[in-house]
Amino acid sequence: MGLTLYLHPLASFCHKVLIALYENDTAFEPVTVDLGDPGSAAELLARWPVGKIPVLHDQTRDRVVPETTIIIEYLQRHYPGRMPLLPPDAEAALDVRLWDRFFDLYVSVPMQKIVLDRIRPHGATDPTGVADARQSLDTSYAMADVHLAAREWATGDSFTIADCAAAPALFFASIVHPFDPGHTNLQAYFERLLARPSVSRTLDGALPYFSMFPYRDAMPAHFLRGEWKA
């Protein structure tokens, strides 16, 4: 098979790329990475010594492609499908890239700060950093709620790479730091994301791994049952 994706089914950034692949029914071979297993880790590090996932290996082009946004843009350029996830218009593409970065940097990153702090050793936690992350999420939720007031998807009528980023970011962030009840636009957008077949398929693949999630105790019961409607 030409495309191999090194991933972990529970990792939110891996979800972003999986959603893009499923949107276009792009054929690929998934390889689950276990960094605790020397052989599995070595296979990833041979491709990308930084050791971060996901990483795409294109055997046909003999190319290793890291970083989620780059992977999705690479797929659109070399393996395009029926759903262009980045618009051809340069100005529209800038807006999509902006909101892709927004959900990665201002939702996913603070969410991960909160999650990873829970598994730090006793005495090594960072309560100030977690408080800052929660404040960052409050700001991001409020910004997104205003932005989404008249939009079906993150940048308009079309599902794009920005929505691929938003779905896993908001899924896990909503668990560790729930939305304000007044953020009705954000909540409605989140529900549309959960109903998207590519998103629900990705979450179906993550379901067997939810026991590993440090905030499993905070997951809504319907998520634990594999029911994705909010």
Residue ranges making up the domain that contains 47: 3-78
User: What pLDDT, on a 0 to 100 scale, did the predictor assign at position 1?
Assistant: 55
Instruction: Give the max Cα distance, the chain.
Output: 51
The DSSP bridge pattern shows strands 63-66 and 55-58 to be antiparallel
User: What pLDDT, on a 0 to 100 scale, did the predictor assign at position 39?
Assistant: 83
133 is written with which tokens? Answer: 């992350």
User: What pLDDT, on a 0 to 100 scale, did the predictor assign at position 219?
Assistant: 97
> At 63, which CATH number?
3.40.30.10
- Asked whether residue 50 falls in the same domain as residue 10, the answer is yes
Q: How far apart are CA 108 and CA 110, in angstroms?
A: 6
> At 194, which CATH number?
1.20.1050.10
CB 71 within 8 A of CB 56: yes
| 230 found inside a domain | no
- Sequence-ordered alpha helix ranges (H) in the chain: 12-23, 38-47, 68-78, 90-103, 109-118, 127-147, 161-176, 184-195, 197-206, 221-224
Confidence (pTM): 0.96
User: What pLDDT, on a 0 to 100 scale, did the predictor assign at position 38?
Assistant: 82
211 is written with which tokens? Answer: 């026991």
152 is written with which tokens? Answer: 């079906």
Q: How far apart are CA 142 and CA 193, in angstroms?
A: 18
User: What pLDDT, on a 0 to 100 scale, did the predictor assign at position 77?
Assistant: 96
Cis peptide before 49 (omega within 30 of 0): no
- Asked whether residue 109 falls in the same domain as residue 218, the answer is yes
Q: What is the mean pLDDT of each run of 10 residues along the chain (230 residues)?
A: 92 98 97 86 91 96 97 97 94 97 98 96 95 98 97 97 98 98 98 98 97 96 90
